[in-house]
Amino acid sequence: MNEIKMDDIISLAKRRGFVYPGSEIYGGMAGMYDYGPLGIELLNNLKAAWWKEHVYDRDDFYGLDSAIFKEPRVWDASGHTSGFSDPLAECKKCNTRIRVDKELEKIGVQADEKMSEAELNQLFDGNRAKIPCPKCGAGIWPRTRFQSASKN
Protein backbone atom coordinates (compact mmCIF):
# COMPACT_ATOMS: atom_id res chain seq x y z
CA MET A 1 0.00 0.00 0.00
CA ASN A 2 1.20 3.53 -0.74
CA GLU A 3 2.12 5.73 2.20
CA ILE A 4 -0.18 8.74 2.50
CA LYS A 5 1.66 11.98 3.18
CA MET A 6 0.33 15.21 4.68
CA ASP A 7 0.95 16.98 1.34
CA ASP A 8 -1.40 14.47 -0.34
CA ILE A 9 -4.14 15.17 2.21
CA ILE A 10 -3.74 18.94 1.86
CA SER A 11 -3.80 18.67 -1.93
CA LEU A 12 -7.02 16.63 -1.82
CA ALA A 13 -8.63 19.04 0.66
CA LYS A 14 -7.80 21.98 -1.65
CA ARG A 15 -9.08 20.20 -4.78
CA ARG A 16 -12.35 19.27 -3.08
CA GLY A 17 -12.99 22.77 -1.71
CA PHE A 18 -12.41 22.12 1.98
CA VAL A 19 -9.58 24.64 2.30
CA TYR A 20 -7.78 27.27 0.26
CA PRO A 21 -4.38 28.81 0.97
CA GLY A 22 -4.92 32.07 2.87
CA SER A 23 -4.06 35.26 0.98
CA GLU A 24 -3.30 33.12 -2.07
CA ILE A 25 -3.67 35.93 -4.62
CA TYR A 26 -0.94 37.84 -2.77
CA GLY A 27 1.49 34.95 -2.59
CA GLY A 28 -0.05 33.23 0.43
CA MET A 29 1.37 32.43 3.83
CA ALA A 30 2.83 29.03 4.65
CA GLY A 31 0.43 26.90 6.70
CA MET A 32 -2.44 29.43 6.62
CA TYR A 33 -5.68 28.25 5.10
CA ASP A 34 -9.21 29.59 4.71
CA TYR A 35 -12.18 27.23 4.87
CA GLY A 36 -14.02 26.56 1.64
CA PRO A 37 -17.72 25.68 1.38
CA LEU A 38 -17.22 22.04 2.40
CA GLY A 39 -14.61 22.91 5.00
CA ILE A 40 -16.90 25.29 6.88
CA GLU A 41 -19.71 22.70 6.81
CA LEU A 42 -17.36 20.07 8.25
CA LEU A 43 -16.11 22.52 10.89
CA ASN A 44 -19.69 23.43 11.88
CA ASN A 45 -20.65 19.74 12.14
CA LEU A 46 -17.63 19.01 14.35
CA LYS A 47 -18.44 21.99 16.58
CA ALA A 48 -22.08 20.91 16.86
CA ALA A 49 -21.10 17.34 17.79
CA TRP A 50 -18.62 18.58 20.40
CA TRP A 51 -21.19 21.04 21.82
CA LYS A 52 -23.84 18.31 22.07
CA GLU A 53 -21.46 15.91 23.84
CA HIS A 54 -19.96 18.42 26.25
CA VAL A 55 -22.80 20.90 26.85
CA TYR A 56 -26.27 19.62 25.90
CA ASP A 57 -25.77 16.05 27.15
CA ARG A 58 -24.37 17.12 30.54
CA ASP A 59 -26.12 18.69 33.50
CA ASP A 60 -22.93 20.03 35.06
CA PHE A 61 -21.61 22.09 32.11
CA TYR A 62 -22.85 25.29 30.53
CA GLY A 63 -21.88 26.66 27.16
CA LEU A 64 -19.98 29.91 26.88
CA ASP A 65 -18.42 31.68 23.95
CA SER A 66 -16.19 34.47 25.17
CA ALA A 67 -13.35 36.56 23.83
CA ILE A 68 -9.77 35.38 24.14
CA PHE A 69 -8.58 38.94 24.53
CA LYS A 70 -9.06 39.78 28.19
CA GLU A 71 -8.06 42.35 30.73
CA PRO A 72 -4.62 41.10 31.90
CA ARG A 73 -5.86 40.73 35.48
CA VAL A 74 -8.16 37.90 34.30
CA TRP A 75 -5.12 35.89 33.14
CA ASP A 76 -3.30 36.72 36.41
CA ALA A 77 -6.26 35.50 38.49
CA SER A 78 -6.46 32.23 36.56
CA GLY A 79 -2.76 31.54 37.07
CA HIS A 80 -1.93 31.64 33.36
CA THR A 81 0.76 34.31 33.74
CA SER A 82 2.66 32.99 36.74
CA GLY A 83 3.87 29.44 36.47
CA PHE A 84 0.65 27.83 35.23
CA SER A 85 1.64 24.27 34.36
CA ASP A 86 0.37 20.74 33.89
CA PRO A 87 1.86 18.19 36.30
CA LEU A 88 3.20 15.30 34.21
CA ALA A 89 4.69 11.90 34.99
CA GLU A 90 6.33 9.60 32.45
CA CYS A 91 5.98 5.81 32.41
CA LYS A 92 9.44 4.22 32.63
CA LYS A 93 8.40 1.30 30.42
CA CYS A 94 6.95 3.07 27.35
CA ASN A 95 7.69 6.79 27.99
CA THR A 96 4.01 7.78 27.81
CA ARG A 97 3.26 10.92 29.77
CA ILE A 98 0.18 11.39 31.92
CA ARG A 99 -1.45 14.38 33.58
CA VAL A 100 -1.02 13.53 37.27
CA ASP A 101 -4.10 15.43 38.45
CA LYS A 102 -6.37 13.86 35.79
CA GLU A 103 -5.16 10.30 36.46
CA LEU A 104 -5.60 10.74 40.21
CA GLU A 105 -9.20 11.84 39.62
CA LYS A 106 -9.81 8.71 37.50
CA ILE A 107 -9.02 6.53 40.53
CA GLY A 108 -11.22 8.62 42.80
CA VAL A 109 -8.55 10.82 44.39
CA GLN A 110 -9.56 14.48 44.38
CA ALA A 111 -6.84 16.51 42.67
CA ASP A 112 -6.80 19.95 41.14
CA GLU A 113 -4.39 21.59 38.69
CA LYS A 114 -4.22 24.58 41.03
CA MET A 115 -2.94 22.51 43.97
CA SER A 116 0.62 23.18 44.98
CA GLU A 117 3.34 20.98 43.54
CA ALA A 118 4.02 19.56 47.02
CA GLU A 119 0.34 18.61 47.50
CA LEU A 120 0.15 16.89 44.11
CA ASN A 121 3.43 15.07 44.72
CA GLN A 122 2.14 13.78 48.05
CA LEU A 123 -1.08 12.50 46.46
CA PHE A 124 0.80 10.97 43.54
CA ASP A 125 3.38 9.28 45.78
CA GLY A 126 0.61 7.67 47.83
CA ASN A 127 -1.30 6.42 44.78
CA ARG A 128 1.23 5.77 42.01
CA ALA A 129 0.82 1.98 42.25
CA LYS A 130 -2.92 2.32 41.52
CA ILE A 131 -2.43 4.29 38.30
CA PRO A 132 -1.99 2.17 35.16
CA CYS A 133 -0.26 3.56 32.10
CA PRO A 134 -2.93 4.31 29.45
CA LYS A 135 -0.64 2.97 26.70
CA CYS A 136 1.17 -0.10 28.05
CA GLY A 137 -0.78 -0.79 31.26
CA ALA A 138 2.36 -1.12 33.36
CA GLY A 139 2.39 2.27 34.97
CA ILE A 140 5.96 2.22 36.22
CA TRP A 141 6.18 5.78 37.45
CA PRO A 142 9.50 7.23 38.64
CA ARG A 143 10.05 7.95 42.32
CA THR A 144 11.25 11.41 41.39
CA ARG A 145 8.90 14.35 41.38
CA PHE A 146 6.70 14.85 38.36
CA GLN A 147 7.64 17.21 35.56
CA SER A 148 5.77 20.37 34.75
CA ALA A 149 4.82 21.28 31.22
CA SER A 150 4.33 25.03 31.11
CA LYS A 151 1.29 26.41 29.31
CA ASN A 152 2.79 29.89 29.04
pLDDT in the model for residue 151: 46
Which residues lie closer than 8 Å to 43 by C-beta, 6 or more apart?
Answer: 35
pLDDT beyond 70 at 7: yes
Q: What is the pTM of this model?
A: 0.46
- Beta-bridge partner residues of 99: 88
pLDDT in the model for residue 59: 92
pLDDT in the model for residue 32: 83
Every domain of the chain and the residues it spans: 6-56, 84-150
Q: What is the pLDDT of residues 30-76, one digit of tens each?
A: 778 899 999 999 999 999 999 999 999 999 999 988 877 888 888 88
Question: Distance between CA 148 and CA 79 in Å, rounded?
Answer: 14
pLDDT in the model for residue 144: 52
pLDDT beyond 70 at 152: no
Question: What secondary structure letter does DSSP report for 135?
Answer: T
In order, the DSSP letters of 57-115 are: T-SS-------S---HHHHHHHTSSSS-EEEEEE-TTT--EEEHHHHHHHTT----TTS
